[in-house]
Structure 1
């Protein structure tokens, strides 16, 4: 159970309730997270639509985005985020076991060279953002536009925010409904 109570959408003004329901219904299995974020209307109003808009834009491949997210979540030991994003990565061709081993990217048999670059960058951007070698950026620029690099960096650091947020407030993984 989270450290704060869940806010149901019925307690929110209609515009925020619509964002809440859309995010919880379309974005993924993050109902417990959005129920806690709802305590801060500005966060609900801006963060959730931004995430949905970024997903719809598809500026980055889903595989590379999920590699970055799962990597940062593993670094932070955020079980909530790893549990929620590893299945997205599995759809992109990386097994659940492979997702758990992303930090060993250099010898990872399920990753190609570009995948390894994304994982390497995610680790560098999260762990030593003020000391990322120019050579790493040069390698990124071969494969990604500047806008994609900015978005990748945004998603890496935003993932770290969500990792800390989820863990600090003890947001629990949603119970899967048998289907």
Structure 2
């Protein structure tokens, strides 16, 4: 059960918050928005960072979301894991690929560059970070510095949301919850403390 009451759409509107930009990437308004809304300035800054990191760039959107999924799982955040996996599917990753993601090192569904990025995501999502010089060297075989910054920005962004949603036990919305129950449960995913 959520530890802070979510603001209603009316309360968000009264605070001058337009929720439509968030619905461009999500089927339902994420619960983190309804709690960040207590501080509209922080919510706006978060939206700016979200747009810069997850918007246009040189790393494919499905790979960003898969990296966010593995980083979130490494951090233990079931809420963000469900969101990132369902968004990866919406961005072009097949459900077969998402279902095989923990076998990324051996599965033919993943390219060498995806393997490097996903290994980086698992290690960077841990606390403390497990990234080593060897990890970076393997990543640099497939990505330039700009792309590496973009990938690490995804992982760091989800680090914020992992802490936010786990600490507040944010209620998981129906679409990512159904995706998690259908495709992620076999990978150790559960809704955890994110029930209504």
Paired with 1:167 and 1:103, the residues of 2 have a C-alpha distance of 22
- Higher fraction of helix: 1
Q: Is the 8 A contact 1:7 1:36 kept in 2?
A: yes
Mapped pair 1:117 → 2:92: no
Question: Shift of residue 61 of structure 1?
Answer: 0.8
Partner of 2:6 in structure 1?
6
Q: C-alpha deviations, 1:33-81, integer Å up to 9, x for none?
A: 2001112223201011221233332332112201210101222332222
Deviates more, 1:63-72 or 1:6-15: 6-15
TM-score, normalization: structure 1?
A: 0.81
Could you say which residue in structure 1 is the equivalent of 2:188?
none
Distance 1:14 1:128, change over 3 A: closer
Change (3 A) 1:119 1:15: same
Any conservation in 1 of the 2:57–2:150 contact (CA below 8 Å)?
no
Structure 1: give runs of 5+ residues left out of the alignment: none
Cα deviation digits, residues 147-170 of structure 1 (max 9, x gap):
221121121122122112111101
Relative distance call for 1:174 and 1:131 in structure 2 (3 A) is closer
TM-score calculated relative to the size of structure 2: 0.75
Unaligned runs of 5+ in 2: 176-196
Residues 90, 119 of structure 1: alpha-carbon distance in 2 compared, 3 angstrom cutoff: same
